[in-house]
A and B are shown apart, each in its own frame.
Chain A
């Protein structure tokens, strides 16, 4: 999920981090899926990884689309930025693909990068094809959201990044592996599928972390979260004000310092966040991601829906009016107004359901079932999945499906047992 969530919830995380923990003897302890998604894993249960400063790493940038011209406000994205962590001896390289609207520098991926690096692998972290930098720098169509198209963009960017990294450093690669989180996991499945035809990387391991199964079913669920009814927010009330007022009331009633992270008593106080409030918060973060996607795709394809087509946006240009407009368009709206018209032009006579199937794991189910080097990890309470999606993962991957009862959408990805499982699969221990 994108980093904005971590930012807006930074105080919430500190505030609630140590509460709502069931005294379960083993297993990830946060049983509320929304709370798990927001606060992640309690520090004492996190699989230890080295500090960022101890990693041999650097950020690099490579030109992917030489013909693309961007306005000054986006000049930074002429090149695709990526993060490389490497060892000074030959080792396997893992490509790590970020989730919806997340960049190569998001904290969740930094953690996974450190875990893989510590296990002796090189790592290249790439932004999600839906993130604004990737759309600008590496998306041929400028309209991400189609499984095969995104896979081609990614595969091309990965080839360039590897060549570039080898030219810039002493990187020596023995074999290739692949992992992705959330939408990045769906991307990883399609990249592995594409590569099985191209035979370029021949990934020895592909791991899907909290993948959606049917992207458009997941989109509907995420869009729905932002329409959650929250008690106390009616008429002209603002949801954010409502949340901030709750926090403020807590502090006024003698709550502790915002910086000190001593918020043990909050969830037992009158100002604890409800499920509806947490769901709405998660939904709102995804709606901002949808606004980013709508704005960027439209800007690159010169649709003129948000920013006027053909006007060079300067660094000093206020983007606020465009954000105001883009906020009204959720993921479903992106699908209808931008993705579908373009796709149906190229696929006459086909329906929107055909398009949906082509971008789902259902479409490549045989490949996923048969290829023993691909595994999936998810939770029984991950809110991006419906019951059928969840059952599909269990049936398709069989004993390569790592399923946990709790953790929401990625909340348990730093948890001791989960990371142990992730590394065991990626290193190839106990499989095949």
Chain B
């Protein structure tokens, strides 16, 4: 069936359906969403409780330290990081902020590429390489994210993911100062990524950054700018527990990609 005919059929069908859905008084007719579900009686099947208890079993041997660090990060965010970020947003136009994000994202493509190669994801590596080339040559150091416009989104691959890909277990949960949730494996991975960026010295960026210390400030601000998470945003006294579980699960998903 061609698209026009299909649309016509659907439109006519829906017009009939919606005419039927108006009750006598002209208000939309009530529909009970629960009516088609099979619902257990209270106390017969503890599916929610069992699943939730299971989700709370996460290896967190230095929980006291982690919780203090989590609180510290939240306060640092509130009193220093976010005010700085707001000032940054006030004084710079969006196109500049996007440009800054793109420059740092472009530099981070180097460890992305290395990690894609190590994991044998050749197709992905090909795309990342293409992205790197497009961005640097066409996009003037990636200021305009040409690659994205061309349909090649950035594919984050970090060494923590690479380790996970080869079956290295996560190890204990860790909350890092300023950087937030991590694990022992991912912390090691992050260190390796930094040294890859350093060794590759792509476009001589590290020495440029060392000569211009303000660029590290910009790096830090940008890191916060591109991260939408806000402490306290889960609206729960148990936010620490929820973030811990979600971090572990989302990393697992990333590794499976």
Residues in chain A within 8 A of chain B (CB atoms):
2-4, 7-8, 11, 22-25, 27, 33-34, 53, 73-74, 76, 101-103, 105-106, 131-132, 221, 224-230, 233, 236-241, 244, 247-248, 251-252, 255, 257-260, 262, 275-276, 279-280, 283-284, 287-289, 291-292, 295-296, 315-320, 323-324, 327-328, 379-381, 383, 385-387, 390-391, 394, 401, 403-405, 408
Question: Separation in Å of the B252 CB from the closest CB of chain A?
Answer: 7
Residues of A within 8 A of B246 (CB): 7-8
* B7 on the A face (CB < 8 A): yes
Task: Identify which of A102, A319, A390 contacts B235 (C-beta below 8 A).
Answer: A102
CB pair A105–B10 under 8 Å, yes or no, is no
> A238 and B38 in contact (CB under 8 A), knowing A323-B238, A380-B29, A380-B30?
no
In angstroms, Cα B245 to Cα A238, docked, is: 14
Mark the stretch among B110-118, B163-171, B209-217, B226-234 that contacts chain A: B226-234
* B200 on the A face (CB < 8 A): no
> A22 and B10 in contact (CB under 8 A), knowing A244-B249, A383-B33?
yes
* B204 on the A face (CB < 8 A): no
In angstroms, Cα B32 to Cα A277, docked, is: 17
In angstroms, Cα B249 to Cα A111, docked, is: 29
Question: Separation in Å of the B91 CB from the closest CB of chain A?
Answer: 12
> A22 and B237 in contact (CB under 8 A), knowing A105-B232, A238-B51?
no
> A23 and B11 in contact (CB under 8 A), knowing A236-B50, A240-B51, A324-B53?
yes
Question: Separation in Å of the B237 CB from the closest CB of chain A?
Answer: 5
Which of A105, A291, A380 has the largest number of chain B CB atoms within 10 A? A380
Question: Separation in Å of the B124 CB from the closest CB of chain A?
Answer: 9
Residues of B within 8 A of A247 (CB): 253
* B59 on the A face (CB < 8 A): no
Residues of A within 8 A of B149 (CB): none
In angstroms, Cα B54 to Cα A237, docked, is: 9
Residues of B within 8 A of A105 (CB): 230, 232-233
Residues of B within 8 A of A4 (CB): 234-236, 242
CB pair B28–A404 under 8 Å, yes or no, is yes
Question: Separation in Å of the A122 CB from the closest CB of chain B?
Answer: 20
Contact residues, B187-231 vs A (CB, 8 A): 230
CB pair B32–A387 under 8 Å, yes or no, is yes
> A23 and B10 in contact (CB under 8 A), knowing A132-B237, A275-B36?
yes
In order of increasing CB-CB distance, the 5 nearest A-B pairs are A316-B64, A405-B28, A239-B51, A380-B28, A238-B51
Residues of B within 8 A of A394 (CB): 25, 27
> A320 and B52 in contact (CB under 8 A), knowing A229-B40, A239-B47?
no
> A53 and B89 in contact (CB under 8 A), knowing A131-B235, A229-B45?
yes
CB pair B45–A227 under 8 Å, yes or no, is yes
* B150 on the A face (CB < 8 A): no
In angstroms, Cα B253 to Cα A284, docked, is: 21
In angstroms, Cα B235 to Cα A34, docked, is: 22
CB pair A295–B55 under 8 Å, yes or no, is no
CB pair B47–A230 under 8 Å, yes or no, is yes
CB pair A3–B55 under 8 Å, yes or no, is no
Q: List 18 A-B contacts (CB under 8 A).
A: A2-B235, A4-B235, A25-B14, A101-B236, A103-B232, A229-B40, A239-B51, A257-B153, A258-B257, A276-B38, A280-B48, A316-B63, A319-B240, A324-B56, A327-B48, A380-B31, A381-B31, A383-B34
